[in-house]
Amino acid sequence: MAIIDDNYVLGPLEVIFLANHDAFAEDLKEVGLKLQPTKSKFYVDEAHRNEKWDRLRGSIPNSTITNPNGAEHHGFTGCDVPIKQREFVTEYLRQKKGSILKGYEKISSLMDPRRWPHPEIGLLVHRGPKHMA
All structural domains of the chain with their residue ranges? 1-62, 64-113
β-partners of residue 81 are 78
Close Cβ partners of 15 (under 8 Å, ≥ 6 residues apart): none
Mean pLDDT computed over every residue of the chain: 79
pLDDT of amino acid 44: 82
pLDDT tens digits, 51-86 = 888 887 777 788 899 999 999 999 888 878 888 889
pLDDT tens digits, 29-42 = 888 888 777 777 88
Instruction: Say if residues 81 and 113 touch (Cβ distance below 8 Å).
Output: no
